[in-house]
Amino acid sequence: MERKKIVIVGGGITGLSAAYYLQKQIRENQLAVDVKLVEATERLGGRIHTIKRDSFTIERGPDSLLARKPEAMNLVQELGLEDEIVYNGTGQSYILVKNKLHKMPKGAFMGVPKEIKPLLASNVFSRKGKLRALWDMVLPKSKETGDQSVGALMRRRFGDELVDYQIDPLLSGIHSGDIDQMSLQATYPMFHRLEQEHGSLIKGLQKTMPKPAKKAKEKKSQGMFFSFENGLETLIDRLEEKLTDGTVRTHTAVDHIEKKEHGYHLLLSNGEVYRADAIIMTAPHNKVPKILSQYDFLKNLYDIPATSTANVVLAFDQSQIKKDIDGTGFLVSRSEKYRITACTWTHRKWPNTTPEGKALFRCYVGKPDDQDIVNLSDEEITDIVLRDLNKTMKIKARPEFSIITRFKHARPQYHVGHIELVADIRANAASELPGLFLTGSSYDGVGIPDCIGHGRKSAEEVLGFLNK
């Protein structure tokens, strides 16, 4: 029997996870299937990119994984990487409101309050704002059944103040997006369920979120996020090691795909043609219509917007920080006249990344209404970031070095209606392009654990397809 061939397009975490789980299945079930992974750039990892400089460990893209999502931890255990895990330092985080850093109230989940005392004690909100937020506990649940924006739900339950000062900076920051356009169903469906089942998000969180055990409270609590001693790329390197020799082809883009009577032909940027019985497409959604330009329905992928952002890493000698603050970093409320959206004090949150006596800051720029900032020069962006930092921190010198990483039109936005839009495109793909699976961060979840899950699911789907 002729061996079947699967080609994975893209060597980010989704593509690598798909390749890993496919080869695991192939080995365990002795399947006559070969896997190839084609990556356009010279390196694997996509947005995950760790570099070393002057004994600093620097993340140019994501910096951590959410520990409570099982997909990542399961993979980390299978890969034998537990000993290399480091958890984040759990110090105080801050929110910048009215040009001042305020302690982020404790007892909240994704910015949504669970405990009332810290909310009442906080000096971030006015008395009126606090009272309005507590209306959540008495307001009737909404009759909304379809999709709505995360902002619409949150503003209805808590009023604008809590949303603008606490929930929006966190949730819009995670997605580099706009909470008032973000689909509730596609991003945080649990909040809709909590409202419907408990009539209140505060009450719902209180009933459903486990209380930390007393003993755990007494011990220094473990962070919610993890990375690895040598940075996130550890995961990428180990996945690559586990793949069969010859699986990966880097520095080669898939330029065009043609459907043939049996399977597909993939035209590569070096002129070669790969034949495939099935394809896992993990390249970002806005690249796909060009690769499959004959299929008009794929142009609807352009309806998934993608924002731009830049990650700005600044390294200093500790002595240059005249007003250091004990904590892990701060988020900036959208109403502030700042161009940074967040700053992590990486030397405190991830002490393993920074040599003794040094300080490492990691800031983001690129608010929804400040997208062009990513087109400025490194020098200009560094100056803007330093000016903003100096409003609260008093840093008296230029950084020892700065590293700027731009993500242009690279943060997929799940706007209201996203789930139906994707379902529609996938339904068309299933009939016009059987055996081609669209997956990755553009569709069903952006977090790295989600992407590992997408890779695993697409591996199952493609083997199911070949087995039909």
* Nearest distance, CB of residue 166 and ligand FAD, angstroms: 20
Q: Which amino acid is at 448?
A: I
The residues facing 56 across adjacent strands are: 53
Q: Which residues contact 172 (CB under 8 A, 6 or more apart)?
A: 178, 179, 182, 334, 341, 368
Residue 458 in the binding site for ligand FAD (CB under 6 A) = no
| φ, ψ dihedrals at 383, nearest 5° | -60, -45
Q: Between 68 and 100, whose beta carbon lies closer to ligand FAD?
A: 68
Q: Is 231 in the site for ligand FAD (CB under 6 A)?
A: no
411 near ligand FAD, rule: CB under 6 A? yes
Specify which residues 412 forms β-bridges with: 306
Nearest-approach distance from CB 1 to ligand FAD, in angstroms:
29
Instruction: Kindly tell me which residue out of 23, 50, 64, 187 binds ligand FAD, with binding defined by CB under 6 A.
Output: 64
Structure tokens, 250: 């880097």
Nearest distance, CB of residue 142 and ligand FAD, angstroms? 30
Closest CA to 25 of 460, 363, 393: 460
Helix ranges (H only) for 308-432 are 346-349, 378-390, 418-432
Residues 6+ apart with CB under 8 A from 305: 412, 413, 415
Judged by beta carbon, residue 40 or residue 202, the one nearer ligand FAD is 40
Shortest Å distance, C-beta 396 to ligand FAD: 28
The H or E element containing residue 82 is none
Residue with tokens 């109403």: 335
**Smaller CB distance to ligand FAD: residue 177 or 399?**
177
> Backbone phi, then psi, for 302, in 5-degree steps?
-65, -15
We find the least distance from the C-beta atom of residue 284 to ligand FAD, in angstroms, to be 5
Residue 177 binds ligand FAD (CB under 6 A) = no
| Contact string 309-338 vs ligand FAD (x = CB under 6 A) | x-x---------------------------
Rule CB under 6 A: choose which of 20, 264, 316, 407 binds ligand FAD.
407
Shorter beta-carbon distance to ligand FAD: residue 421 or 451: 451
Q: CA–CA distance from 100 to each of 167, 206, 335, 389 (Å)?
A: 17, 30, 12, 12
The verdict on 65 binding ligand FAD (CB under 6 A) reads yes
13 is an interface residue for ligand FAD by CB under 6 A: yes
> Binding to ligand FAD by residue 403, rule CB under 6 A?
no
Residues 260-289 that bind ligand FAD (CB under 6 A): 282-284, 287
Q: How far apart are CA 31 and CA 100, in angstroms?
A: 61
Query: CA angle 170-380-286, nearest 5°?
Result: 55
What b/e string do you get for 300-315 counting C-beta neighbours within 10 Å, with b at 16 or more?
Answer: ebeebbbbbbbbbbbb
User: Least separation, in Å, of the C-beta of 20 and ligand FAD?
Assistant: 13
Of the candidates 5, 7, 11, 134, which one interacts with ligand FAD according to CB under 6 A? 11
Shortest separation between residue 232's beta carbon and ligand FAD, angstroms? 8
How many residues in the chain?
468
- Residue 63 engages ligand FAD in binding (rule: CB under 6 A): yes
Instruction: Write the DSSP symbol of residue 286.
Output: G
Distance, CA of 330 to CA of 328 (rounded, Å): 7
Q: Which is nearer to ligand FAD, 56 or 274 (CB)?
A: 274
**Which residue in the set 8, 96, 152, 254 belongs to the binding site for ligand FAD (CB under 6 A)?**
254
The residue (of 174 and 325) whose beta carbon lies closer to ligand FAD is: 174
Give residues in contact with ligand FAD (CB under 6 A): 9-15, 38-41, 46-48, 61-65, 253-254, 282-284, 287, 291, 309, 311, 407, 410-411, 440-441, 446-448, 451
